[in-house]
Structure 1
């Protein structure tokens, strides 16, 4: 994403105005969507629409500045104490803190609309997922995979995709209550998610076998099966580790 340059003059009031506009835009975009106009943002920030154009060049320039700020703050937030746990847990923690809740709204809105922030946001969480899944595999609490990177991306995309669809089907009474949105999602989806990831779904490997036959038919130069039994789909209650 292109960075919007800060003023070179060192005028702190100029920087404060930029931050005030940016923060107002983050809040309004998160609550009302990216169709929010420059005049509404200017009114909320207590500045003129001309000043926004002076600082950011255009609404797109303002959006890029918001993207960069939100992603940077989410990364900082994770560094400060939410390295472990799922993406949903991190978002819940952020949404429960008054100053960071607008970041959650903006991030969720960006995921819905796509774009650079959505891609960066997902890539960021995929990298995190690779780490905690690898730790689980090493500890023996998670089964290994034929393709660890693909599994980490699937887990991330599936999780956020389910969250976005659930929010669309269950719109909150208060669009600014991001913590309430996430709590509602966990209440509705927590049990089946935990059950599916813990116990699995299929009682045999026929679906996996059929896919592997399709993806790597006999006689091809495909990768073949992993050395470890990564694709085992033992039924719940089996004594295999």
Structure 2
């Protein structure tokens, strides 16, 4: 299963072009970007944007849903392919030019803060619960005592790493450059894969101590603390 690109050749409606332009512009400039600028990027009038979506808030909501769908399709694609083709993950990296505007959009959504950022993260977690469950069922992912907590940690670790790279980048336009993304993602990928596949500690003594310490420790599916 191939995840959908940001804008496929058959997706050239006015609505799709505006959405595509908005995802890219919000990713570059944040959510203060004007409808007039988005309209210019899409090759339409500002009035056409308003007529099509009704408001900037409605446009952003559709952008959110589109980005969620691409992330969800991408993750499911990798999980589905990994059992027979471990190179599927590398295939996703090879398509990074296609995903870069989406990652930038996600980072800007988190930077915006407040209720919208919380809602954005909650939606990502909800979607991840589905595709991680698929991975567990396929025997590719180790089950967790608290899957939602693990997912929130992993999302925070990944996005936090990229936000840190962006915050410490002296060039404010770095988010638009391939060099920045190559550097940031290369710095993230190897350590993340090491932790995911090989672990970090050589024994579980710290985990066992924690499970004894907390008053209501999480349990496995049979109700046993493990």
Counterpart contact for 1:129–1:156, Cα < 8 Å: no
Aligned to 1:200: 200
Q: Distance in 1 between matches of 2:52 and 2:218?
A: 56
**Residues 188 and 95 from structure 1, CA distance in 2 versus in 1: closer, same or farther, beyond 3 angstroms?**
closer
**Residues 191 and 66 from structure 1, CA distance in 2 versus in 1: closer, same or farther, beyond 3 angstroms?**
closer
Q: How does 1:92-107 map to 2 (within 5 A)?
A: 92-97=93-98, 100-107=99-106
Normalised by the size of structure 1, how large is the TM-score?
0.63
Report the alpha carbon displacement of residue 64 of structure 1 after superposing the two structures with TM: 0.9
Residues 136-195 of structure 1: CA deviation (Å, up to 9, x unaligned): 46xxxx5x65434533443343333333323333467642245x4443234334454445
Q: CA RMSD in A?
A: 3.7
Matched, 1:175 2:175: yes
Q: Distance in 2 between matches of 1:109 and 1:119?
A: 16
Equivalent residue for 1:56, pick from 53, 58, 61: 53
Q: Distance in 2 between matches of 1:118 and 1:223?
A: 25
Count of aligned positions: 201
Aligned to 2:30: 33
Q: Distance in 2 between matches of 1:107 and 1:132?
A: 23
Q: Distance in 2 between matches of 1:127 and 1:59?
A: 30
**Residues 228 and 166 from structure 1, CA distance in 2 versus in 1: closer, same or farther, beyond 3 angstroms?**
farther
Q: Distance in 2 between matches of 1:204 and 1:16?
A: 54
**Residues 125 and 38 from structure 1, CA distance in 2 versus in 1: closer, same or farther, beyond 3 angstroms?**
same
**Residues 145 and 74 from structure 1, CA distance in 2 versus in 1: closer, same or farther, beyond 3 angstroms?**
closer
Residues 58-110 of structure 1: CA deviation (Å, up to 9, x unaligned): 1111111211222223334455x433569x9686344233xx54333323322
Q: How does 1:135-154 map to 2 (within 5 A)?
A: 135-136=139-140, 142=142, 145-154=144-153
Matched, 1:185 2:178: no
Counterpart contact for 1:25–1:41, Cα < 8 Å: yes
Which consecutive residues of structure 1, in runs of 5 or more, have no partner in the other structure?
1-14, 217-221, 232-241
- 2:32 is paired with a residue whose SS is coil
Write 1 or 2 for the structure with the bigger share of helix.
2
Counterpart contact for 1:163–1:185, Cα < 8 Å: yes
